[in-house]
Amino acid sequence: MNLPEARVSVQQIGREGEPIVIVDDFTGQPERLQAMGEAAQYYPAGVDYPGIRAPADPTYLDLRRDLMMQIIGRVFGLTRSIQCEVAAFSVVTLAPEALSPRQRIPHHDHSDAGRVAIMHYLGGSESGGTAFYRHRRTGFETITPEREAAYEAALVQDEREFGPPPDGYPTDSERFEQIGAVEAKVDRLALYRGRLLHSGIIPDPTALSDDPRRGRLTVNMFLFGS
C-alpha cells in the first residue's frame, strides 16, 4: 500500500512546555476508518467521556510503525514495553445541560508521565478539535501524582468561590485559561501526555448526534511504556 507522505509537527505549549505532536495524512484511508466506526457497536462511555464508545483495532498504527516509535521515543522518552492500553471509536453525544459537573471542566487522563494519549480525528474543523488549559488557581497545566491532592483541593476552593461549573462544554473561564489547541482535520493524529489538562472543542452542541455517520467521530487511544 502506498501511503501519502505524513507531515509531522511538534509544538510545546504553555509555561510547562509540554509537547504536542501532530501527524497529518496518517493513514491515507480515513474513509475506511469512518466506515468501521459507522459499523461498530457502541455503549455508554460512563462517567468520564460525554458520549458513547466502541472497541477499535489499534493495529492500523503499524502502517507507520517506524514513525510512531520515533515519536514515542524522541518526543515522549518512551523506549521500552510500549503497549496500547485503550483503543476506541468515540462519539460525543451529551447535550450541554446533561453534562456532569466534572465534564464541564477540563480533565486529565492519567497523571503518569509514561502514558500518551492519541486522538485521531475523522472529521474536519467543524467537528471540533482539542483544547489545552491551565488551572488559574494553581497554575497547573499538567496533573502529576505529586500535584493530585493540591489540585483536588483547589477545585473545591473553586466551587466555594464560583459555585458549580456552568452548563456547557469547557471553555476559557474564571477557573481555567486556554493555552493551546489542536484543530480537527480529517486523518490528523494528535499525541500528548494524558496528564495535560484538556477538553474536546464542541463548536456547535446542537449538531451532536449518536449516529457516527453524522456525529463527532474520533478514534481515541492510550499508549503506555517506560
Domains and CATH numbers, the chain: 7-222 (2.60.120)
pLDDT tens string 22-44: 999 999 999 999 999 999 999 99
Per-residue pLDDT, averaged over 52-69, amounts to 96
Distance separating the N- and C-terminal Cα atoms of the chain? 32
Per-residue pLDDT, averaged over 60-71, amounts to 96
Residue located via cell numbers 502529576: 144
In angstroms, how far is CA 15 from the centroid of its own chain?
Answer: 20
pLDDT band at 1 (very low <50, low <70, confident <90, very high): low
Sorted by sequence, the CB contacts under 8 Å of residue 42 that are 6+ apart come out as: 52, 53, 54, 89, 91, 210, 212
Sorted by sequence, the CB contacts under 8 Å of residue 112 that are 6+ apart come out as: 145, 194, 195, 224
pLDDT attached to residue 3? 87
- The CA distance from 165 to 219, in Å, is 28
The proportion of the chain whose per-residue pLDDT surpasses 70, expressed as a percent, equals 100
Per-residue pLDDT, averaged over 204-224, amounts to 96
Query: For residue 164, is pLDDT > 80?
Result: yes
Per-residue pLDDT, averaged over 178-204, amounts to 98
| Sign of the dihedral defined by the CA atoms of residues 29, 6, 199, 112, in that order | positive
pLDDT tens string 127-153: 999 999 999 999 999 999 999 999 999
pLDDT attached to residue 46? 82
- The CA distance from 3 to 27, in Å, is 7
